[in-house]
Chain A
Amino acid sequence: MNGEADTAGIVIVGAGQAGVMTAEALRTGGFEGPITLLGDEPHGPYHRPPLSKAWMAGEIEAAQLVMRAPEMLARKNITLRTGVNVKAIDRSAQTVILGDGSALPYTGLVLATGSTPRALPLPGGDAPGVLALRTRDDASAIADRLAACIAQQRPVVVIGGGFIGLEVAATARKKGLAVTVLEAAPRLLGRVLAPVLSDWYAELHRGHGVQLLLGAQVAAIETDADGAVSGVKLADGSVVPAGLVVVGIGVSANDQLAQAAGLACERGIVVDACCRTSDPLIVAAGDCTARRLADGNLLRLESVQNATEQGKSAAAALLGQERPFTATPWFWSDQYDKKLQMAGLSMGADGWAVRGDMAAGAFTVYHFKGEQLIAADSVNASKDHLLVRKLLDAGVSPTREQAGDVAFDLASLLVK
């Protein structure tokens, strides 16, 4: 590297989980040049998982969300710049163009741009009081509106029975609000959970007083004289009243910068298992990526684990090392007093076995494809979850009978 390149260093676009993990992994990996972490939010790096729960419920203060203290980043010689928009990538000049028009040179570039909640493509979908959740400020806006709903005794409607929507529904119920969840599909969490678990979660929410409308077709957002949300109109003409509508209908990968720069993108920045993009100087990590699998298919994961592991792989790739992220995907969701922990991907499963007591709320559903264990979803059964991760990482499968038999020690299948 020449002197100028040394000064340029590595630029990371995005100061969320993936961006921070990449920055720290670069230092751990021995990189000594400059690292610049660019965040478009006004806040430094913070934890997103508590946003839909403790933060929204007002149980913690802003400082408790902090992922890394500024002095911690400074000590690692990581320059954090917040409130910075990146407008473009100039690959031939090896610079990123910032919102103020200035150019920031790079010797290596990390795209950790995250994802954006899908907007409701309906009349009134942008009315005041119709809110999505991604950032700390989004969560604060929802919390403020929840408080107003409590004061005025107005109900809350959640559009979308996915994880974000259901976690917000649980938080709103904890606050004593009337909550209706509208889901277009015939079951909750249909994209990620097997029917047996969708039904269990439906009962969990009903048991906590949530009104669930499955197969609901939303037609429009109704507004009051001031233009603010007053309800959700369904295709059958009925209206569900609402002082707050939370929209959780999925996210889109933020791949616009990459696309405009001519990098391969397919509903996400296409990366290999080592997080390399189609430009050898550019890597990508986290929600913004779509990983090309060995069989040619693309895998999009939106999770803390994915952001963390891809961050480490992306850093390694920039340092010229191969660190593929191929470990078993895992994910969790906290709703009420239930912790769901998922390991592996259950899509394509053709059978399952249950260990534990579903009625008592502590169990694991093991998913099989043929005779092979491919995934497991645990509710208040962390021990099962951790063991499944080990089994899947080792490529070891119990039989269905063994999986469902609490007397059988699954750990005995692992070679000591």
Chain B
Amino acid sequence: MANITFIEANGQSTTLNLADGWSLMQGATANGVDGIVGECGGSCACATCHCYVDDLLAGVLPAPSQGELDMLENVVAERRPNSRLACQIKAGPALEGGVVHLPECQE
């Protein structure tokens, strides 16, 4: 379980309590957070769940897979060092209190 805060480009902030194993994409779309599209349903195939993770998350998350790194090359908004795909980030206790910022556009 982890409380994760999603901050949309317009400043709208939503904190969700996500069960272990849920991806941040699943949490966001199932709970009404705009700014995450997730066209492919979490298959790491569309790059429409782009997010920017905070230092806390960056410190505890496993490094992105080669597949995720490749797909990150296709994001529409600016790619930054802390860019990740929300479908590839799974909730767990270590993520407690993490914050992700969502870009202005996904597609």
Residues of A within 8 A of B (CB): 17, 47-50, 54, 60, 63-69, 71-72, 75, 304-305, 308, 332, 334, 339, 341, 380-383, 385-386
Taking the closest CB of chain B, its distance from the CB of A35, in whole angstroms, is 16
- Asked whether, in the complex, the Cβ of B30 is within 8 Å of the Cβ of A64, the reply is yes
Q: How far is the CA of A50 from the CA of B30 in the complex (A)?
A: 15
Taking the closest CB of chain B, its distance from the CB of A164, in whole angstroms, is 15
Taking the closest CB of chain B, its distance from the CB of A354, in whole angstroms, is 18
- Asked whether, in the complex, the Cβ of B42 is within 8 Å of the Cβ of A69, the reply is no
Whether, in the assembled complex, B71 has its beta carbon less than 8 Å from a beta carbon of chain A, the answer is: yes
Whether, in the assembled complex, B86 has its beta carbon less than 8 Å from a beta carbon of chain A, the answer is: no
Q: How far is the CA of A17 from the CA of B67 in the complex (A)?
A: 24
A and B contact pairs by CB, cutoff 8 A, 16 listed: A47-B41, A50-B41, A60-B26, A66-B26, A67-B29, A67-B41, A69-B30, A72-B29, A305-B46, A332-B45, A339-B44, A380-B67, A381-B70, A382-B44, A382-B67, A385-B70
- Asked whether, in the complex, the Cβ of A386 is within 8 Å of the Cβ of B71, the reply is yes
Most buried by B among A48, A68, A380, A382: A382
- Quick one: which of B21, B34, B41, B70 contacts A48, CB cutoff 8 A? B41
Whether, in the assembled complex, B55 has its beta carbon less than 8 Å from a beta carbon of chain A, the answer is: no
Say yes or no: A69-B29 contact (C-beta < 8 A), given A49-B41, A304-B40, A332-B43: yes
Residues of A near B46 (CB, < 8 A) are: 304-305
Taking the closest CB of chain A, its distance from the CB of B87, in whole angstroms, is 10
Number of B interface residues in the complex (CB < 8 A): 25
Residues of B within 8 A of A (CB): 21-23, 26, 29-34, 38-46, 66-67, 70-71, 73-74
Residues of A near B43 (CB, < 8 A) are: 49-50, 332, 334, 339
- Quick one: which of A50, A67, A382 contacts B71, CB cutoff 8 A? A382
Q: How far is the CA of A339 from the CA of B42 in the complex (A)?
A: 13
The closest CB in chain A to the CB of B47 belongs to A386
- Asked whether, in the complex, the Cβ of B73 is within 8 Å of the Cβ of A332, the reply is no
Residues of B near A305 (CB, < 8 A) are: 39, 46
Q: How far is the CA of A386 from the CA of B23 in the complex (A)?
A: 23
Taking the closest CB of chain A, its distance from the CB of B104, in whole angstroms, is 13
Say yes or no: A49-B67 contact (C-beta < 8 A), given A64-B22, A386-B74: no
- Asked whether, in the complex, the Cβ of B73 is within 8 Å of the Cβ of A383, the reply is yes
- Asked whether, in the complex, the Cβ of B30 is within 8 Å of the Cβ of A304, the reply is no
